[in-house]
Amino acid sequence: MQMIKPRTVATGIALAWIALGAAPALADPAKDVQVAARALGFLENAPHGAVVLGIVYDPGKPATVAERDALMAAIGSGLTAGDLTITGKPIEASAVGGAGGMAALYVTTGSPYSEIGAAASGKKLLTISSDKACAQSGACVMSVVTTPAVEITVNHNAATAVGATFKAAFRMMIKEI
């Protein structure tokens, strides 16, 4: 009986992932937040000038804290996209209901989507995430994925609930569910 080397098995698995197009993509928070900022400019009555983007995370989930940190680093002292300059403000998921003074909320992957979505909807705050599941569930208005290619999904019902209307030119470039 011939032994198969572990490296041969690992190489075979990696090639299978690539062949199937299922290689896991690594999120790029800097790109994601830049595209999200540009997407805000496609809103009817879009915000202009300096605005605050709430970065929602769950302090009990290290992955959401890491994404919060990466997003805050990407935004730095201000991220400019078109005529919009965004600053970030970290917000714990449990505090969304009391949050104010923000143009939108960026929901980190793995945060309690339904709880955040309900609180944000009640405050008429647009929600964005890099996790498509957030938009698919209706908790987020929009998901922005930039790796391996830009893909923006807008949940029509969630957008309607917060009073968000996107320009026709933008709606032609996105997937609306």
Domains of the chain listed by start with CATH number: 27-176 (3.40.50.2300)
The predicted pLDDT at position 171 comes to 80
Q: What is the mean pLDDT of the chain?
A: 84
**Per-residue tokens: 85:** 């300059």
The predicted pLDDT at position 29 comes to 85
The predicted-structure confidence for 9-47, as pLDDT tens digits, reads as follows 333 333 333 333 333 445 788 899 999 998 988 888 888
The predicted pLDDT at position 46 comes to 86
Q: Which of 62-66, 84-88, 147-151 shows the lowest per-residue confidence on average (mean pLDDT)?
A: 147-151
Mean pLDDT confidence for 146-161: 92
Q: What pTM was computed for the model? A: 0.81
The predicted pLDDT at position 175 comes to 84
> What does DSSP say about strands 79-81 and 84-92: parallel, antiparallel, or unpaired?
antiparallel
> What does DSSP say about strands 49-57 and 84-92: parallel, antiparallel, or unpaired?
parallel
The predicted pLDDT at position 13 comes to 37
H/E segment holding residue 51: strand 49-57
In the chain, the N- to C-terminal Cα span, in Å, equals 54
**Per-residue tokens: 33:** 């937040």
Q: Which amino acid is at 147?
A: T
Instruction: Say if residue 75's pLDDT is above 50.
Output: yes
pLDDT bin (cut points 50, 70, 90) of residue 113 is very high
Instruction: Say if residue 170's pLDDT is above 80.
Output: yes
Dihedral sign for Cα atoms in the order 62, 71, 145, 115: positive
Contact 18, 62 (CB under 8 A): no
Contact 1, 123 (CB under 8 A): no
Instruction: Say if residue 90's pLDDT is above 60.
Output: yes
Instruction: Say if residue 5's pLDDT is above 80.
Output: no
Instruction: Say if residue 109's pLDDT is above 70.
Output: yes
> What does DSSP say about strands 126-129 and 142-145: parallel, antiparallel, or unpaired?
parallel
DSSP string for 119-163: HHHHTT-EEEES-HHHHHHTS-SEEEE-SSS-EEEE-HHHHHHHT
> What does DSSP say about strands 142-145 and 151-154: parallel, antiparallel, or unpaired?
antiparallel
Q: With CA atoms as reference, report the closest residue to 125 among 47, 69, 177, 60.
A: 47
**Per-residue tokens: 146:** 């930039």
